Structure 1
Amino acid sequence: MRLQQQYVPTAPPEEAYYLPSSSPPPPPLPPRYPPPSWQEPSVALQSSKRSNHVSSPSYPAPPPQGQKFIKPANRIRPVNHQGQNSFYGHNYEMIDKSRNIEHVSRFNVKSGKPKEMLNPQLYTERRCTDVLCCFLFLIFTAGWGLVAAIGELLVQTGFRWGDAERLILPTDSAGRRCGGSRGRSYNLTTQPYLYYFDITKCISYSTAIGGCQTPQICVSRCPSKYFSYLQLQNPTASLFDFYESVENLLYCTEDVDKNSIANFAILRNYVHQKKCASYTVKSAPVLGRCVPEILIGAVDKFSDLQKSNISLDTLKTMFGDDGTIPPDKAVNDSEKQLLKTFLAWVNDHTGADEPPAPFEKFRRDICLCNKSISYRYIGQVVNSEGVITKVIHDLLKSWWQILALVGGAGVLAFLWTVILRILGGFMIWTSIFCIIGVLGAAFILSTALFILFLVLIFVRKRISIAVALIEESSRAIGHMMSTLIFPLFPFALHLFVIILWGTIAIWLASSGVKDCRTNNNHNITCDCSTTPMVVLNIDPKCTFFGLVKEKKTIFWLQLYNLFLFFWMSCFVSSLGNISLAGAFASYYWARNKPQDVPSFPVLRALGRAIRYHLGSLAFGSLIIAATKFIRVLLDYLDKKLSTTNSQIFKVFLSALKCCFWCMEVFLKFLTKNAFIMMAIYGKSFFVSAKESFLLLARNCVRVAVVNQVAGFLLFLGKALITLGMGVVAFFYFSGQWVVNGIPRVDLYYYFVPIILVLIGSYFVTDLFFDVYKMAVDTTFICFLEDSEQNDGTIEIPFYMSKDLQRILNKKNEK
C-alpha cells in the first residue's frame, strides 16, 4: 500500500545528491526561486510561529538537466504517475526513517492499481508460496490412493488384499470367524461370541497401527460375573473349588488344557504368557462381541426368553425371586402352554393395550399368593426387549424432533452472535463484576478478590479493546452471512478423509493368507476354502492353522495411512481457516464498510488460497501432522513396553508425551496466526509465522485479555445453548411438556433423544462459534497491524472502527 505524503520542498542539504535520469528536463523555475538561505523545515516552522507573518515556503535547488533529486535523510522517491502535488513534473513519496513506515507498504499492491486503495488487501500482488511442499503434498496424496494397488504388486510375497468381513464379523486372533465353520478346517458354530482378554488395549490410537494388542478367542458364552485369577491363590480354598473356578470362570486359548492347571503357579504362568485372561467382567454380547455391561448399561435378555423349553425357573434366574413365584413342577402342561402363548404375544406385540384373554387365567392360576408379583416380572419381560431394537425404534419415532431441536440450537447460536454485537460490552462487564461479587462474598478468597481487582484496574483499557473487537467481529459476520454456512464445506471434506482412511485401515488390517495344511507329518499346504481334496493320495483332511500376514508390510502401510490421515485432516482445517481469515480481513481493510467489502468474500478468499497458498497450507499442516504422528508412536511404544519394570523409562516416556502435547498446542496457535497473516499479505509460511509471532509478542497482554474475554463469552454461549436445548428436550420427550399441535411421542428410553440433542446442539454451536473465534482472531491481528503501521493522517489513515479509535485516543484526520 504505497501511500502518498505531501512533500513541502526545501533546499537540499550538503549530503543531497543527484542520479542520472531519462526524465525530460524540468520546466522553468518559479519566480520566487531560489530562496535567500537554507533552513530545515522544523527551524522554518519555529520561525514562522515567532513572527507575525507567515513566511513563504522554501524550495530546493533544481536538479541539473537529466538528473533526479534524492534526499537521503527522508528517502524521497519520485512516483511515476502525475499528481496535483507534483514538483517539477514529479510526484514525491516521503518515508520518514524515524517512524519506520516501510511497513506501510506491506500491501504489495499490483502495478497499475491506484495507490489510494478502497480495500488494499484485495489488490495485493500475490505469488505461489512454498511450491516445493505443494508438490510433496500432491505426491504423498497420490501415493495414498495407490496403497490398494500395492497389494497386487506384493502377491508373490504371500500378501493378499484384505477382507473387510474379518473385522466386521467377530474373528479370533487366528483369523477364524466366531460362530462359523469352513469345511474340515475349523468348526466354531458353538462359539459365536468373541472375547477380548483385555478390551482396554483396544481403546487407543495405537490400535490403528498394530491392531488390538490383546488375545481374542471365540467363546460359547460371555462372562457372567467379575473374576480375577488372583482369587485362586488363597491357600485355604479347597481343591474342588479351585478346579471348578478354573473350569467355569477362566478363559484361555484352545491350546491350553484346563485339566493340566493343577495349582496356582501353573495358572500364573499361563496368565503371564497371555494364554489365559487375568480377569473377567460381567459382559453382554453386542454385534457378536463380549462387551462389559458397564459400557452398554443393559443386557439383551429378551433373546433368552425366546429359546425353547422356556420355564419359570429361567425367569426367576433372570429377574430374581422373592419366594412368591412357584417352581415349574407346580405348573401343569396347559399352564406352560399359556406361558409360551404369552411370550409369543410379547415378541410380536404391536401396541395392543391388553394381553390375550387366556393370560388372565394364567395369572390367576400361577400367582395365587401375590397378584402384584405377576405384573412385576411380566412387565420386566415386556420391557426387556433388545436395547438396540428399542433405541432404533425411539430414533425412528423422534428423528424429526431431534433435528428440529438441533436446528434450534443453530438459530440460538446465530442470535448469540447478534446479542454479542449489541450487548457484548454489557455482558462482559456484568460478568466481571459478578465474579468480583462472588469472590467478595467469600471471606477466604479475599486475597483472590484483591488480586483480581488490581488486574482489572490495569487491564480495563485492554478489556475495552476486546469488547470493541468482539463487536466488530459480530458486525463482520452480520455483513458476510456466508461465513456461517462455509464450515459445512470443510466438514464434508473431513468426512471424506475419515471414510477414506477408515476404509484403507480396515482393508490393511484384514489382509493376509490362510495357512491351511494337511493333517499328517508331510505338512503339505492345501486350500481349506474348498471341499477337501486328495493331495498326493494322502489323507484329504485340511486344517486351518491361522492367518499369515506380512506384518512388516502391513505395519508400514498402516503407518503411512495414519500419517496421511493426520496430514489431510490438518490440511482441510487449514484451508477452512485461511478462507475465513481472508474473508474477515477483506472486511476490516475496507475503507468504507460495508460498501467496499467485496461480493462473495469467502469464495474469493478460498480461490486465492487454492491458487497461491496450497504449498504453505501443506507445509503448516505437515508440521502439526508430524507432531500428532510422533505422539501416536509414543503411545504405541508405551503400549508395547508396558510390561517393563523400568520406572526411569516410564517417566522419560511420559515426559516426552507431555512435551509433544505442548508442542502441538503451540504449533496450532502459531500456524493459525500464520495463516491469518498469509491471508492478509500473501507471503510464505515462514515469513507469515515470524511476523505474526513477533506482532503478538509485542502485544502479549492484549493477546491474553482478548483470548480470555472472547473465550469466556463463547464458553458461556455454548453452555447456555447446549444446556437450554437439553432442558427443552427433557421436558418434551419425557412427556412433562405438552405443546398443542405437536404430537406427543411415546418412547422406551426418552434419554436417548435427549443425549442426541445435547451432542448435536454442542457440535452445531461449536461450528458457529469456531467461525466467530476466527473472526475475532483475524480482526485482532488486523487491528494490531493497523495500529502499528498507520497514524491516522490523510495519507496513512486508520482502518479500525471509530470505537477502537476512541479507546486508543486516536482519530483520522479529515
Structure 2
Amino acid sequence: MSVSMKCIGDPRQLLHPTDSEGNICGAGEYTNRPYAYFFDWTKCIKSLNVPANILQGRPFVCPTKQVCVEKCPNKTSYYKFGDYNMNRICTYDVTESDNNNEELVRDGKCASYIIASKPLFGRCVPQQIESLANSIIQAPDGNEANATVYDSNGQPLNGSKLEQGVKYLVELLNLKQIAVMLVEDLATSWKYILLAFGLSVVVSFLWIVLMRWLAKPLVWFGIIGFIVLLGVITGLAFFEFIQLRANNDNQIIKEFKFVADANYYRSLPITWLIIGILSGILLLIAALIVLVLFKRLQIALTILQEASKAVAYNFFSLFWPFIPLILHIGIFAYWVAITMYLATAGKPIYRIAGNQSEVDPADLTIGQICNPQKWNKSLFKDHVIRSSKINLTYSSLV
C-alpha cells in the first residue's frame, strides 16, 4: 500500500493550489506561476445550491476556469477596455499575438474581466471585497473615464455576488487550510521539534538518575506541581471567560465556525468555559486521588526508591528507552509521509460546471460528476463541449 501511495500521491497538492487541469501551481513546469486565478468569481455562487446527493461528500470548489499565474493582478479591467491586454489572464495556449479578445473570451480562453486581487492561501482573492458590496464594479476604460465591468454572462459585475462567491471559497479553504497549515508548520519547524525531543530525553534521563537519591521529593514535587498547574489553568480560564462574556453582552457564544486562525477561538467565551470545566474536573479528580490514596502513595514511593537503587547497579539499562524512542520517531515520520501521499492519491474528478445551451440535455446537472472521455472528442476541447457549452471543471483530487 505504501508503495502504491508513493506512486499515485503527490503531497505538493497540500501546499499549492491547482488549476482546472489539475496542474500544481508553483511546482514543476509551473514553478514561476505560484498563484491560482479564478476567471469569474460570481459563478462560485452556483456551488451553494448543489444538492448533497450530487456532491457525494466531495467539495465542488467553484464552477469556473482556474489558471496558474505569476502574480495576482493589481488593477480591475474588462476585455473591452483599452488597458485589458496589460493585465489579461488567459489559458496557457494563448500568446501575446492573439489580440481578438472578444473571441478569446467567448471561447473561454481568457477571463472576461480582471479584478484587483491579493494572494490568500495561494489563490488570488479580490481586494477590499467588503467595500464593494451592494455596488456595481467600475474601472478605468482606457479613455480616462470609469465604465461598468461585466461578468462572463454579460451582466454588470455586482459587488454583492462577487462577495458571496469569495466568501464561499474562503470558508471552504479555511477548512482545508487547517490541514495544510499543519503540514507547512511541520515542514518549517521540524528542527525545533527534534530539539524539543532531545531536551525531553535529557531531562527524563536526569530525572531517572536523580531518582536514586531523591525519589520521594521528586515524585511529590511532580504531584504537587501537577495539581497547582491545574488550579492555575482553571482560575485563568474562568477569569478569561468572565472577561470575554462581559465584553459580549453576557452571551457565551454568538456564532461558531471552523477557521484556521487560533485567535478566533481564543476570542470565544465558550472556549475558555470548556477549558475551565475540563481542567477543574481533572483538578478535583487528582486532589481526591491524593487524599484517598495518601498512605498507599507513601508505600509506593518507598518501593520506587528501592527500585531506583537497583537500576543504578545496571546503569546501561537506562539507555534502553532510547531504542524504542528512535523507533517511535521513525514510525511517526513514516506515518506522516504516508498520510500526505494518501491524502493526495486518486484520480481527478470532473464535474459539470455549467449548461448554457438553449435546450437542456437530459441527465445533466451542475455539479454532477462526469467523465470527459465519454464526450465527443471532436467537440471536447479545453474542458468545454462546444455544441452545448457544457463546461467541465477539474474539481479536486481524492
TM over 0.5: same fold?
no
TM-score (norm 2): 0.33
More strand by share: 2
Larger Rg belongs to: 1
TM-score (norm 1): 0.17
More helix by share: 1
